[in-house]
Structure 1
Amino acid sequence: MRICPNCGEENSERARFCQACAAPLPDATSPPAETRKTVTVVFADVTGSTSLGERLDPESLRHVMERYFDAMKAVIERHGGSVEKFIGDAVMAVFGIPRLHEDDALRAVRAADDMRSALDALNQEFQAERGVTIAIRTGVNTGEVV
């Protein structure tokens, strides 16, 4: 499989041009060219996670955090982004890698807003099941990467 450096589309090994955007594909024998891309990053961090950990037993905390991470990942992917990594109780997502969209920054902002809405729904369940709620702080930034 050859990945288009322009749009991220997967192409067959024999393809010389991208099937999606017609950009020339790099020669399989040459190292990939480093290019600048505009990427938007969404970062969401749970506030007060230390006190949450003190109020819940380890199994309950794991259950709450797994459901939180699953919900955030679903929202991010629904908007065309991908989770770059989970860092402790934080989620770092990227828009524009590997697949580029003209409106990646807007998609990221909408995803961040929907993450808050999804958390509101989750918090109703968490409150009913475990007597806790969680809050997040989100940040969105767009810039060039190599």
Structure 2
Amino acid sequence: MTAVHLALGSNLGDRQANLRAALAALENAHIHILRRSSTWETPPIPADQPHYLNAAILAETTLPPHQLLAVLKQIEHHLGRRPGRRWGPRPIDIDILFYGDLQLETPDLVIPHPRIAERAFVLAPLAEVAQGPLPVLGATAHQLLTRTGLQGARRIGEL
């Protein structure tokens, strides 16, 4: 089993229900959730769309990275995500932040996920589930969040 950190986001439809449906689908897809963050509401990037609900999980899986990515894409599709503009609105988004301490860069998958250290919408929920220094980055999510600030992120409740 490999430890993975995943980020979840939703800004279309019933955002909380979308996150919960994604969690249920992950559990049914060989991804065992160990910890889950609170739900955080964050301003969108770019700003011309609804606010996001974001969360993070620590999980374990036996799936190799590209197979995990394929499963995540299937879950997103099943929950209503369709191809659209980059960084556009979506009912669900599930990203691999870390896959153990693996560093990987292929055309369709980069691990650790790029720009983690700059994004409060990732760091705020990640700080709740990631203990100790983050793989490859060498700092904790809390330390990185202190550097970036909350950037408008606010904790709104349990997932």
Q: Same fold (TM over 0.5)?
A: no
The structure having more radius of gyration, on CA atoms, is: 1
Category of TM-score, reference length = shorter chain: 0.3 to 0.5
TM-score with structure 1 setting the length? 0.42
